[in-house]
Structure 1
Amino acid sequence: MAGVRDVAAAVLTRTGPITTMKLQKLLYYAQAWHLVFQRKPMFDEKIEAWPQGPVTPSIFAGHRKQYQVTSGPSGNAGALTAPENATLTWVMDKYAHYSAETLSRLTHMESPWRVARGIVDENEKSSQPIAHDQMRHFYARRSPMSTSRSPRPRPARPWKVSISTTTGNELSATSRPAPALPTTWSPKK
């Protein structure tokens, strides 16, 4: 298992200089998705639900009062295992193009941060940790991956959507192929 400083160094190796906020959010997503893909944490350090979103305090302490981070705080990017690198590559492909502010807004809309914040006002300080179970559960439901534990895309599946012929409301969606409609199809009256 890599340390959070190793993961931070690996992120910075891939991105170059980035804002401290963006580094924090990418570390959070790396941890969350590694919990989904490998069912274990990528690093041991806790992530807290701060007003600006998820923050790893030990990394924050290493670049306190810096707007931009240019190098990993004494981390070794080469210390990541193959599964950790695979997860980080997937996370970078999915999230690295977003701005720090967008990533912060995303985390604020997602339940792991919101549950950890509880009833604390959005701008109030908090050091409440974000639970691994919350992260794994939330992101597993959003996973585009198969039920396997490695980050591989699922094959595309056709969807069948049933529509009520009287109200037009959607009734169900299943992963079975939709049958072809007859060319003279019309709703029953």
Structure 2
Amino acid sequence: MATAHDVAKYFLLIAAADEDSEGLTHLKLQKLLYYAQGFHLALFGCRLFPDMIEAWDHGPVILSVWQVFRQHGSMPLPVPPIGTSVSLSAEQRDLLNDVWNTYGQFSAWKLRNMTHEEAPWKETPYRNVPITDEALQRYFQTQVTNDRPDHG
């Protein structure tokens, strides 16, 4: 199983290689991690990474990733050094590329607002508590088209 930090590094590397990207902020990274976990649960029936996703005021957050990147505030996050390896399978990389291609085009605040309209965040009764795998899987199964993430 990958770690949330492996997935975060991969998204940072994708953003750095994307000439249309202005880099990743911490807020945007958190939302991409949420989408990656949700679609992995929907498509494969298991978690992509073991970390829980919590429902915070500004949307879904992985605490361990927040602790690493919080000092950057709303500034673009540093790109991992060239040659950084990430322990992800080809299947996982394909999913993350699909998530990036679907959601990477949106700003951090657009993604934040989108997550606030989605059932997993809306239906978590309290802030700063985990969003259940069941809630993620149930919602994201409705967002899959042809075994691919869809934003419809």
Structure 2 length as normaliser, TM-score?
A: 0.85
The runs of 5 or more residues in structure 2 that have no matched partner are 17-22
Q: 1:91 aligns with which of 91, 99, 103?
A: 99
Contact persistence 1:6–1:79 (CA under 8 A) = yes
Conserved in 1, the CA contact under 8 Å of 2:143 and 2:149? Answer: no
1:56-135 mapped onto 2 (5 Å cutoff): 56-66=62-72, 67=74, 68-71=76-79, 77-116=85-124, 118=125, 120=126, 126-135=127-136
Render the CA deviation track for 1:71-127: whole Å, top value 9, x for unaligned.
Answer: 35xxx65301111111101101100000000000000000001111x1x4xxxxx32
- Bigger radius of gyration: 1
| Matched-pair contact (CA < 8 Å) for 2:102–2:149 | no
Q: Which runs of 5+ in 1 are unaligned?
A: 121-125, 154-189
Paired position in structure 1 for 2:50: 44
Name the counterpart of 1:160.
none
SS of residue paired to 1:69: coil
Q: Report 1 or 2 for greater relative contact order, CA contacts < 8 Å, sequence distance ≥ 6.
A: 2
For residue 88 of structure 2, what is the amino acid of its counterpart?
A: L
For 2:95 and 2:132, the matched residues in 1 are separated by: 19
Q: Deviations over 1:14-64 (max 9, x none)?
A: 002311100000011011011111111110001100000000000000011
CA distance in 2, matches of 1:7, 1:142: 21
Corresponding residue SS for 2:60: strand
The aligned amino acid for 1:92 is: W
Runs of 4+ with >3 A deviation = none
RMSD of the alignment, in Å?
A: 1.8
Task: Name the residue aligned to 2:3.
Answer: 3
- 1:145 aligned residue: 146
Indicate if the aligned counterparts of 2:39 and 2:149 stay in contact, CA closer than 8 A: no
* 2:16 is equivalent to residue 13 of structure 1: no
User: Taking every aligned residue pair, what percent have the same amino acid on both sides?
Assistant: 32
TM-score, structure 1 as length reference:
0.69
In the aligned structure 2, how far is the partner of 1:69 from the partner of 1:31? 21
Cα deviation for residue 143 of structure 1 reads: 1.2
Distance 1:88 1:129 in 2: 22
Contact 1:12–1:71 (CA under 8 A) maintained in structure 2: yes
Q: What number of residue pairs does the alignment pair up? A: 139
Structure with a larger share of its residues in helix: 2
Distance 1:10 1:94 in 2: 16
| Letter of the 2:56 counterpart | W
Q: What does residue 59 of structure 2 align with?
A: 53
Q: Match for 1:134: what amino acid? A: A
Closer, same or farther in 2 for the Cα pair 1:99/1:77, shift >3 Å?
farther
